[in-house]
Copies of this chain bind each other. A is one copy, B any other.
């Protein structure tokens, strides 16, 4: 039984790009920050004062990407760096009042947009979609690994 396929990567990239750009555009004009910065605020809104590495894990980003992000957000008064008293290596990131107010303004809109985006899909379909996104997230790395181990055996299986 031949199942239907489609260009997963391609469609995922388009969908993500469209949504990300729309969100970024709106946030820049309405609130003067980028979607990436808003993502950091979103993490802090439930986990205020966490170290940078926790934010990085939460957002699936490298720590080095957070350095500049936090720098810019500190400069605009959205967050604040604070040295951890018990572990000298750690820097805790705290929401500043401006950051907290901003998140307060946007969080409702985000909920509404999620609703709107899912509106045409049934409960069962939403479950499928959620499982798909989680599946991709968890198995993306594995694919490359598989491919590599397949290559180490014998490269010649390049036909198709």
Residues of A within 8 A of B (CB): 3-23, 25-26, 30, 39, 42, 60-61, 105, 107-118, 120-123, 125-130, 132-141, 143-144, 146-148, 151, 158-160
Q: Per a CB cutoff under 8 Å, which of B21, B23, B144 touches A26?
A: B144
Interface of A is mostly: helix
Given A11-B130, A15-B134, 11 extra CB contacts under 8 A: A3-B126, A9-B114, A10-B42, A11-B137, A13-B20, A14-B137, A18-B60, A18-B137, A22-B144, A26-B147, A108-B160
With a cutoff of 8 Å between Cβ atoms, the chain B residues found around residue A121 in the complex are 128, 132, 135
Copies in the complex: 2
Query: What is the CA–CA distance of A120 and B8 in the complex, to the nearest angstrom?
Result: 14
**Are B19 and A9 in contact, with the CB atoms below 8 A?**
yes
Name, among A11, A111, A123, the residue most crowded by chain B CB atoms within 10 Å (CB to CB): A11
**Are A143 and B116 in contact, with the CB atoms below 8 A?**
yes
Query: What is the CA–CA distance of A24 and B147 in the complex, to the nearest angstrom?
Result: 14
**Are A12 and B133 in contact, with the CB atoms below 8 A?**
yes
**Are B139 and A117 in contact, with the CB atoms below 8 A?**
yes
Closest chain-B Cβ to A138's Cβ sits at a distance in Å of: 8
